[in-house]
Amino acid sequence: MKISRHIILAFLAAIICLGFSAKALEIFIGPSAQRTLQQKLLTAQQSISKLYVDSVDGNKLVEDAIRGMLKELDPHSLYSTPEETRALNEPLQGNFSGIGISFNITTDTLYVIQTISGGPSEKVGILPGDRIIAVNDTTIAGVKMTNADIQKRLRGPKGTDVDVTVLRNAASSPDTINFTITRADIPINSIDAAYMVDASTGYIRLNKFAADTSNEFVNAVKDLKKQGMKQLILDLTDNGGGYLNAAVEILGEMLPPDRLAVYTEGLHSPRYDAKTSPKGKTPLLGDDKIVVMVNQYSASASEITSGALQDHDRALIVGRRTFGKGLVQRPIPLPDGSMIRLTMAHYYTPAGRDIQKHYDKGDEESYRRDIENRYNNGELMHADSIHLADSTVYRTLRLNRPVYGGGGIMPDRFVPLDTTEYTKYYRNVMAKGIFNKYVISYVDENRARLKKLYKTDDDFVDHFEVSDEMLGALRRIAEKESVDFNEEEYQRSLPLIKVALKSLIGRDLYDQATYFKVFNTHSPIFNEAYRLINSQDYTTLLPLKKK
């Protein structure tokens, strides 16, 4: 027997109403309607608790009700359980308490890639390449534990101890060592890489917009300027967004003070203008040339940042049309630690563009398939496959250039997705984790030799080459994992296979920045950004301001 959908939605309404006072509710729906709604909800709740034929899981009923009603609204109004809420907030809040490692799980074994500098694991002597096989006398190797299960065991309150058993030198002379690690606050960084591409060009990759992102960004820019940076490539590809204020603060270092960065507006939310303000006396980047890299997975705060820079004619945007997430969510905490993120307004760029792409209420499936549809329609490969109505044309604020609204940020320079190298063979090797399996084994056996041979990651980037012997070993692992070899597809994917191997080896030997130093050499978006920032095309598209 199914419970009425209307009763479920009534339950949801009751839960949502807990976040508002009775007086606030009257403002929205009027006093008479409010009393009727409260009576209706109370009657439904009492009827189900006292009269329903079977036992009911109250928590599940409420959660299903909340999810059901929010699903009828828009794709970004969401409910999260207490556990989901903590998981959603943690990456944006800047830190968590743990042991300070980055790791991979391969063949049911936790492999330490790096230890956080100055973190708890480094202090007790954990090394890259170590395999953690037990935590607090519980074996975690070879038992098919999930990433989340392992993290629960390693993380915990600051100042508490965790015992780990480590297998070291697994490939040569295995040694088992026991460590007691005192957990501490571990920073969650927003910047994956910040380095000089050449004597005057800096590169910064942001993976999200979190609580401490603007401080990280400022420190990275200052460091690059000390190294001679006079122009910046800002990489926002695959950046799904985060906090609005983080985007506004970063824009404060690129735009003049008191410029409109973004505004929000909704039916019950009056217009709010967010304006720029540098942390110092003047914006760090002044009039430095800026190119921003974006793709179809750049969303929300990434679109606010790239849209504002484009509207103010401050930077050139390179890549593919961004995701199109322009809805503002207000978090509504519930008493048990769960949360509703309710859409309250739209984001608008300084020129008035609505970032949000089209959606039909209640049709979440079509919305989620949008990127797939773009691929199938050819948009990701051909700029002329992007069809925007004339009504979506806006004008930039300084140069009166045409820009487009109605679904993401259109780049100034389109870079197609190169599908030639992404063969079925490559995808299968990647999907089965074979690259990581090979790299872990290779670095484990050759770490000391490689670090002696390549003193710095720049030495590695400039001189390391993937050998035929390495490629053969990778193919043999793939065959053991039942990946059918295809010579034609293998040859097409060979450049990508080589750069993937070199990137991952560089990351395991040095750090995440090394990965991007290598991989960017093969990235069409990066290569176009680098070409553009160093060519006359930049000043042709964005003439310098008259002094």
- Residues annotated as catalytic (active site), given as ranges: 300, 311, 325
Contact of 353 with 333, CB cutoff 8 Å:
no
CA distance 299 to 196: 26
φ, ψ for residue 366, nearest 5 deg: -65, -40
Helix 424-431 and helix 434-453, axial crossing angle in degrees, nearest 10: 80
Nearest CA among 284, 238, 239, 233 for reference residue 257: 284
Cα Rg for the chain, rounded, in angstroms? 26
Q: Which amino acid is at 158?
A: K
Contact of 232 with 285, CB cutoff 8 Å:
yes
Contact of 284 with 371, CB cutoff 8 Å:
no
CA distance 69 to 60: 14
φ, ψ for residue 397, nearest 5 deg: -85, -20
If you ran DSSP here, which 8-state letter would residue 300 be given? T
Q: Which amino acid is at 119?
A: G
Report how far apart, in Å, the C-alpha atoms of 157 and of each of 96, 98, 119 are: 9, 8, 15
Give the count of beta carbons closer than 10 Å to the beta carbon of residue 35. Answer: 13
φ, ψ for residue 20, nearest 5 deg: -125, 150
3 state DSSP class of 20? coil
**Paired residues of 104 in beta bridges:** 111
CA distance 79 to 340: 5
Nearest CA among 51, 80, 78, 18 for reference residue 7: 51
CA distance 274 to 271: 10
Residues in the chain: 547
Nearest CA among 462, 459, 514, 525 for reference residue 194: 514
